[in-house]
Amino acid sequence: MALALTAGALALTLAVRPIVDRNMIGLLLGAITLSAWYGGLRAGLSAVSFSVVGGFVLFLLPRGPQAEEYAADAIGLGVVSVVGVFVAWLVHRVEVHRAELGHRELHFREMIEAVTDYAIYGLDVGGRIVTWNLGAQRLSGYSEAEAVGEHVSLLHTTEERERGHPDEVLREATLNGRFTEEGWRVRKDGTRFWASVLISAIRAPDGSLSGFTKVTRDLTERRRAEEELRDREARLASIVGSAMDAIITTDDDHRIVLFNRAAEQMFGVAAEEALGTPVDRFVPAGQMAEFAESGGTARTVPGSRGAFPALRADGTQFPAEATISTSAVGEQRLITLVLRDVTERMLADTERERLLTEMEASSRAKSEFLATMSHELRTPINAIVGYAELMELGIGGDLSSTHTDYLRRVRTSSQHLRGLIDDVLDMARVEAGRLEVRAGEEPLIPAVRQAAELVAPQSAMRNVTLSEADVHPVRYRGDPDRVRQVLVNLLGNAVKFTPAGGSISVRSRVCARKPPGTGLGEGPWVGVEVRDTGIGIPADEIERIFEPFTQVDQAYTREQGGTGLGLAISRRLARRMGGDLTARSEPGEGSCFTLWLPAIPAPELVIPPEEPVRWPMRPGEVAGLSELGRMLSERVDEVVRRWADRLARDPVIPDAAGLDRAQLEDHVATTLVELGKELMTLDEGGGEPALLRDGTDIQHLIATRHGEQRARLGWTPAQLRREYDLLRDEVEALLATVPASADADRSTAHAILQRLLYRAEELSTLELSRTT
């Protein structure tokens, strides 16, 4: 293109010059300009080169005699060279600038189109939409085709359109150059959103209005969050304002920024006066600074008896307790004090301490008086009992049958009175702290049997069955005399409140964890249960019966006698020995009292599972118990054979493999047969009558003999426990293969059988430990 334009300009110069006789330098400059304009800088420079070369050729052509023409041509070539280069560069810069402007405009439009968080669109001077970006589509739901050409009121609510608000907004933007507002807008689907709107007027270079740009952002979530924040702040302000405690908040400089109504009333100063002042005018100096330096988040302000001296505006001091905490609001740390005036509480505490001291002194005086009077009363009563016995023996001469009967009544009444005095004396000693309680390691079974023997005459007289068939051979830590005293009291109460024909049973259980219904810690513990089928106790009276001089059924108790001190003394004795005394009962069903004592950890101490066992108290109470006993007795050979095979291969007892069958099985078959019989006896007799006690004695004998035999073989308690674990596994495996009858309570029956097996294990392990 540059060559063609230059050649055309030279040709025209050659053609015209002879006619007009003038230098046509302007034609060459025009060719250079056109080349640069349409072809760019390179084409313009090429046109300059071609013009110079062509002009030089023309310069060499034959000319007239006028020398000035040659000079003009030379000057023209120079002008063409310089001016042509400048024109080409100038035209190129103009084109580059135009291209850059076009590129920037395209980039800006693409950027606007790509924005999705903001609706950005253009309006003409009449307020009709001319551009519509992706953000506008997403926010409003209208596509570009649907929106372009529509009036901007498309997104306004009906109310705003009716009052002309869209046009008013455009007029405001035209007048001031821009307009901002927040308000409701409407989407295509009719839903509303809270929008932030910015409208800017666009003007032409001459200052005339050419349109508007509008930027809209959805602030619905922010508005909702702000409303929730305002609601929370309002609720918090209401809570703080209505709080009964004084609340003071300070900044890092310990100047008050919040002072609620309770603080105004407590310190006698208005919030307006307190705000901005140092908090040290109300609380001890240095408390806030010390807490701030500690870097803590919350604590109680220390002071005497939990309180510190606070200061009212009038200078008077009062005791207060407070908690102090910190919180952060942005980069600012706030310290909050919550204070309470404890003047009345301190006065009440002082008065209570005074009364408590007086009551303790009075109680000690009462206890000392009772102890003295009880001791003094015992002396003449002992004399009455002694002389009555001497007269019954005939020391003073022969007595008639009437006199003998009178003396028997005197002696019985005197013994009863002495028992009541002993209760009062024991209670007085307990309260005075003068009751001696030893803490030795003692066997449990002797204490239980001695207590049962002491109460046996009373139970026989009232036709009440008494048995202690399931007592663990464990050792406890305590005073055997006091344990026997507690058990005698429990058994005596059971006899007293159980109708004729009823039953009383004594059993024990060992647990490794905290006993239920007590404040005791982790075990092991042994609990001695005294269970009866008596009148029972209402649930709301259970704890009250352990209070001194308290009896539940006054009419029934008056008939039976008693002071209401026995259970109170028994619980205190149990707790003095490190244990406790608990009770559970159902009216009309009977009661169960449990004496908890610390069990002595030992190799022979076997702790059964924690699952409670519902021991049958009446015939047929546990369905399927006899069925289980018969099946165990009939298939005992199968169980023993499988158990012995496992025992001979067990790595825990390596010596078992070298024993013959008789040594290995020993008394196990007999033990299982007797257990089966005991299950049938429990089901048929219920309540553990004398027949069950006979079976228990047999079990005791067999289990102890088995322990002796294992001791002779050199077994350890751990190996003996492993033997019983295998035996329980085989028994359970057998029972799992036999379907139970439809009405059988197999889970309870299994639990009873496992409890009996654990009792046999305890007896065998105890005997093994004694023998070795």
Quick: pLDDT tens for 161-205.
Answer: 888 999 898 899 889 888 999 889 999 898 999 998 889 888 888
Quick: pLDDT tens for 357-415.
Answer: 888 777 777 667 766 766 677 677 777 777 777 777 777 677 787 877 777 777 777 76
Quick: pLDDT tens for 661-684.
Answer: 888 888 888 888 888 888 887 777
pLDDT of residue 224: 87
Angle between helices 444-461 and 480-496 (to 10 degrees): 30
Nearest to 28 by CA among 40, 17, 18, 20: 17
Higher pLDDT, 210 or 382: 210
pLDDT at 621 over 60: yes
pLDDT band for 571, please (50, 70, 90 cuts): confident
Taking residues 405-434, what's their average pLDDT?
70
- In Å, what is the CA distance from 564 to each residue of 247, 302, 438, 493? 52, 47, 25, 11
Express the helix, strand and coil content of the chain in percent, nearest 5 each: 55, 15, 25
Higher pLDDT, 90 or 140: 140
Higher pLDDT, 216 or 431: 216
Higher pLDDT, 125 or 108: 125
pLDDT of residue 351: 86
CA distance 151 to 127: 6
Nearest to 249 by CA among 279, 273, 270, 269: 279
pLDDT band for 595, please (50, 70, 90 cuts): very high
Quick: pLDDT tens for 59-87.
Answer: 555 554 444 444 444 445 445 555 555 55
Q: Do β-strands 192-203 and 580-586 pair in parallel, antiparallel, or remain unpaired?
A: unpaired
**DSSP string covering 389-426:** HHHHTTTTS---HHHHHHHHHHHHHHHHHHHHHHHHHH
Higher pLDDT, 44 or 687: 44
Taking residues 746-771, what's their average pLDDT?
78
Quick: pLDDT tens for 449-490.
Answer: 888 888 888 888 889 888 876 677 788 999 888 888 889 889
Percent of the chain residues past pLDDT 70, beyond the cut: 70
Quick: pLDDT tens for 544-556.
Answer: 888 776 666 544 4
Token readout for 757 is 């097996």
pLDDT of residue 304: 46
pLDDT band for 206, please (50, 70, 90 cuts): confident
Token readout for 691 is 């027949």
Contacts of residue 678, defined as CB under 8 A and 6 or more positions apart, other chains included, come to 629, 692, 695, 696, 699, 756
pLDDT of residue 555: 47
Nearest to 33 by CA among 80, 102, 75: 80
pTM here is 0.43
Across the chain, what does the average pLDDT equal? 76
Quick: pLDDT tens for 183-194.
Answer: 899 998 989 999
